[in-house]
Amino acid sequence: MEDLPPGFRFYPTEEELISFYLHHKLQATRPQLDRVIPVVDIYELEPSHLPPEYTGELCQGDPEQWFFFSARQEREARGGRPSRTTSYGYWKATGSPSFVRSSTNQIIGMKKTMVFYRGRAPNGRKTNWKMNEYKQIKQPYSPNDPQLRHEFSLCRVYIKTGRLRSFDRRPIEAGAAPQLPDFHGDHQHSGDDQVRMMINPPLLADDQSSSSACPANNSPDPGQTSITNNIGEQSGDHDNWQMDQEDLQLLLELEKLNWV
């Protein structure tokens, strides 16, 4: 990131996070993506230690948000609940899980929002650290039997500041983005190659591409691809949105999968 022009940063949509990054991590098809989003035992570390020490080598220096892959814990693999307790605090879920939809309005994953508390439950002190945990839904998606993939989850960690973050400044509606180069090869990149690497390759789900690296300013880029699931992020820290009765019923089915 040091060789990139000022204002360029990793800027993925939720659809890109699930359809491309998390999908390829689960399929083990693009190991070089660990240079962008590393695998971290996120529940063994304090959130304040994550940004400076454990961010991906191609995404260092972002002051607003940080992304990590988190592997399934052994106790979760045996059917138990995951432990979200660190040495000095714990992550607590807020609200109910929300669906993440693709640009074609297909359900592709689930998002759970958590807040970090210092101390021990139930007397912990709430902090400004927040996290969105994303899990992919197995495809083809069945409304009657939705299944989550638990091998890895993708976590977005950020600090609640009370001001509008770049992640929240996405336009709800925008024109289509130009075709962008694919992300191939394990070799080191520099200069213009690094700029290209920070622009997301085509999404696997619909074979379309959208820009994920753009200048961080208060004016939305008219070339930014719009997706319906961004509506939930437009309101800053209001991470959950209204759902229709069909979505609510599907959420109740997913709760039976013991994803907490």
170 closest CA partner among 110, 70, 103: 103
- With a cut of 70, say whether residue 140 has pLDDT above it: yes
pLDDT at 30 (0 to 100): 93
Give the integer Cα–Cα distance in Å for 233 and 132: 11
Q: How far apart are CA 157 and CA 99, in angstroms?
A: 19
Residue 207 Cα to chain centre, angstroms: 20
Q: pLDDT category, 7, cuts 50, 70, 90?
A: confident
Answer for the pair 96, 117: CB distance below 8 angstroms, yes or no: no
pLDDT category at 247 given cuts 50, 70, 90 is low
- Residue 25 gets the label, from left (phi > 0), alpha (psi -120 to 50) or beta, of alpha
Residue ranges and CATH numbers for the domains of the chain are: 14-255 (2.170.150.80)
Lowest mean pLDDT among 14-28, 141-155, 219-233: 219-233
Can you read off the two tokens belonging to residue 87? 């040495």
Note the pLDDT tens digit of each residue in 179-223: 434 434 444 444 444 434 433 444 444 444 333 444 444 444 434
pLDDT for res 156? 94
